[in-house]
Chains A and B, each alone.
Chain A
């Protein structure tokens, strides 16, 4: 088998993969980075923070962190690509585009510059990065995974722009998946409400509702399960997260 063909047969255990995870300094992204590193893969983790010592946060030698602020997509993407080149990565097995922010409030009160920034962080960056990663993903017959949100299922009067960006990613993946058929896999995963700091960062106090939210650990393992199953579009419900508990990922498996 040629090198490229062996990379294509993704199911076989034991091979170290290259994994890129954006928004990996907190919440679901951080748990995903630790999980993939825990199974022995090489992880490139990105975020907006400047970390003095990233081992404090990640505590794994096979996670490399770089600062790539998504509010400047051009800059962030070139930082990510040069980091990949510096690490000698010529192909990419898995990219999880997870980093995002939210703004909460009535749509008529949303400041124009904040709106622009939200579109950059949650939507324009993802398009720029998918574009930049395409050759790396094609080389590995790898996968591009975008994180959406179940917010897109209903009208969200107080999260209109956030929800629009996630609906945009859903549509992007639907068409891109068809375009990339046979070259790389595209998946969109929509988590339900999860008990992370995302809401607090957006200025929303979720109060007691947090007990109805899913645990970030459960959601992170459900996302990995959906990735293993190669679901093209997966909504992470409580039931799906429960099912994910019965699937364990062996070492070396994505």
Chain B
């Protein structure tokens, strides 16, 4: 099997890449930080291709696509994502521009081209990573949440047209993950124990990607939180505000 993983150098993307390589698959690992990926490529000679791309830039995405010309992927995980937290009006617009490009522009661009140019093999899968914030809201991360809502909507919409091309779509709604990214954005009080280890999440995603499910709320706690958010959307957002927004110290982006 041949896979493409974006944001592969750290966190969840790293765990996904390592697990795929360990089970003997070929991986095109994309990140703007290629150094850690080159080490992986050395270790898994021939199976891992480290590719530089800055997903903030349309030209860089275009270069990546040019470089991958003629590939056929069985699994594409559009994992790269960034965050910006704080009061909406205190976060600078440049941070929002980055957020929109990386979390929304890039996955839409890549998914559309990979399917449109027939680089997805028959019975292949594209995985989009949304967030639990899609069901519970995220005061203190309003634009981050907005990009994740948009990606969930896009994934839902393209499922049918992509299926005609024999490509299926999986959307993942992870809760807090124990990565450097989450450390940076969570208020100081929130404890690490509540977050899921990236290795565990990667296993759940890879398992779901082999099945037929269209959505994945990984882990029991995430599932329960999602149920609560669907039943009581207003209360959930209010709780999120009390738990996160009210405790925030300053913006982080």
Contact = CB atoms under 8 A, between A and B. Distances in A.
Interface in B141-157: 141-143, 145-154, 156-157
B157 A160 contact: yes
Size class of the B contact interface (CB-based, 8 Å): 35 or more
Nearest to A119: B105
B158 interface: yes
Nearest to A156: B157
Contacts of A108: 112, 115-116, 161-162, 165
A223 B190 CA distance: 40
B149 A171 contact: yes
Interface stretch (A43-51, A62-70, A162-170): A162-170
B112 A175 contact: no
B157 A112 contact: no
Contacts, number: 150
Q: Is the interface of A mostly helix, strand, loop or mixed?
A: helix
Q: Is the interface of B mostly helix, strand, loop or mixed?
A: helix
Contacts of A134: 88-89
Interface in A114-146: 115-116, 119, 123-124, 127-128, 130-131, 134-135
B81 interface: no
Interface in A152-199: 152, 155-161, 163-172, 174-176, 178-181
B162 A107 contact: yes
Interface in B104-120: 104-105, 108-109, 111-113, 115-116
Given A127-B143, A155-B156, A167 B149 contact: yes
B147 to A, nearest CB: 6
A166 B157 CA distance: 13
A47 B233 CA distance: 35
A86 interface: no
A124 B97 contact: yes
Contacts of B108: 115, 119, 161, 164
A110 interface: yes
A124 B143 CA distance: 10
A5 B158 CA distance: 49
A160 B155 CA distance: 8
29 contacts: A107-B111, A107-B161, A107-B162, A112-B109, A113-B58, A115-B112, A116-B58, A123-B146, A124-B100, A127-B96, A134-B88, A156-B157, A163-B157, A164-B104, A164-B151, A164-B157, A165-B150, A167-B152, A168-B147, A170-B149, A171-B150, A172-B142, A174-B145, A174-B233, A174-B237, A175-B133, A175-B141, A175-B237, A179-B241
Interface of A: 74, 106-110, 112-113, 115-116, 119, 123-124, 127-128, 130-131, 134-135, 152, 155-161, 163-172, 174-176, 178-181
